[in-house]
Copies of this chain bind each other. A is one copy, B any other.
Amino acid sequence: MDNQEIEKIVTEMAVKGKRASRKLSALPTAVKNAILLDTADILEREKEFIRTENAKDLAAGREKGLSPAMLDRLELSDKVIASMVQGLHEIAALPDPVGEIDDMKRRPSGITVGRMRIPLGVVGMIYESRPNVTIDAAALCLKAGNGVFLRGGSEAIHSNLALATLLQKVLASHSVPEEVVQVLPITDRHGVRAMLAQEENIDVVIPRGGEGLIRFVTETSRIPVLKHYKGVCHVFVDRSADEDMGINIALNGKTQRPGVCNALEGLLVHKDIAGVFLPAAAKRLMAAGVELLGCAESCALVPAMTPAAEDDWGTEFLELKMIVRIVEDMDEAIAYIDSHGSQHTEVIVTSSYENSQRFLREVDASAVMVNASTRFNDGGQFGLGAEIGISTTKLHAYGPMGLEELTTRKFIVYGEGEVRS
């Protein structure tokens, strides 16, 4: 297939998707929930079909020499199918944000003005190998009244198409045009480019995957992109911190699940507490298998640390490794976070009221916390229900994105014939 053919197919799909999404925006909550629950049922009923299609991807993956970790992520095991089913039930149970009206106010002119929450339109998802994203993302988009245009990793193409086929069957049974959920059947990279040029038909793009994919999407797209590149999260242990609390929060942030974006990558310690705190913290962190990359002063206090190399500062390790740095004061901690953090999650451990307030106010990150683990920066933990991703850019959404972030608000006006003078 040449590039022109690809562009033609993508444009046709996108136009149909946009048109179909209009039907969805006015669909009653009960119908949307029935679609989600019926999808849960069909996933269980058609497990054989899903496994057969998934087996094609797994076989091709083995042939291509994918790593065991990648094959694991590709597999639609019973456990993964069960988790998709559970996700569908959870999303069906969430309140529907569409149609919510607030801020209604009478204006001096006589008109009454408020805002009504509405779907964004069509969401473009571009993601790497995990095929369960196909169902998870489609379900969230549908519940928020959006169409969805999905482009998963080429290794998962049979799995993604199989899951979309089942979802489309359910949509048809509820008289909803099946084009509200579409998986791009083209694995050629140019398909992504063609998709990112559909500014008239796709309202927002959410990429999920490694930094390389996200940079490619951001640089190529003419559609607004909601994204985060990486999570370089820090804990600052203030002079007045409770020592045990500081250690527990550092340990939890680094070791509870090191491979995710809200895992801890750096520990900043106030110089007045470092002499007591650092040896004790280092002991427990190292006992948990964490390699500590320290500044010169830290290494002097705890000789078992590895001296940090210049490019360790600001690195997202995603493994049992973190930097440790002694700072003069809170100013230095905030300045360090400003220049090395990724605006994801930043924590202060402190007993000082003033410092807690100042940290909350002045640190620029999607989530800023006092005395809690970075691992809480998550849609579920924050009470948004499920999340479709996280944004570390400030426009539209900053932090975990749930159903509400998949909507926007229009102004509505009730008048009685008012005109402007």
Contacts and interface: CB of A to CB of B under 8 A. Distances in A.
Interface of A: 22, 25-26, 99, 105, 107, 109, 111, 113, 116, 118, 120-121, 203-204, 218-219, 222, 224, 226, 242, 245, 248-249, 251-253, 256, 338, 360-362, 364-373, 375-377, 381-383, 393-396, 398-400, 408-421
17 contacts: A105-B383, A113-B382, A113-B383, A118-B364, A120-B395, A203-B393, A224-B395, A226-B395, A252-B420, A365-B410, A369-B413, A372-B413, A372-B414, A373-B415, A373-B419, A376-B418, A395-B395
A287 B367 CA distance: 60
B417 A249 contact: yes
Contacts of A400: 411
Contacts of A414: 369-372
Given A338-B22, A368-B413, A408 B419 contact: no
A138 B395 CA distance: 19
Given A120-B395, A224-B395, A249-B419, A372 B111 contact: yes
Contacts of A25: 362, 364
Contacts of A370: 413-415
A381 B107 contact: yes
Contacts of A413: 367-370, 372, 376
Given A26-B361, A256-B419, A361-B99, A411 B366 contact: yes
B398 A408 contact: yes
Given A367-B411, A369-B412, A377-B411, 14 more contacts: A107-B382, A111-B372, A121-B394, A203-B394, A224-B393, A252-B419, A366-B410, A369-B413, A370-B413, A371-B416, A373-B415, A375-B419, A395-B396, A399-B410
A107 B370 CA distance: 15
B116 A417 contact: no
Contacts of A107: 381-383
A369 B412 CA distance: 6
Given A338-B22, A382-B113, A409 B398 contact: yes
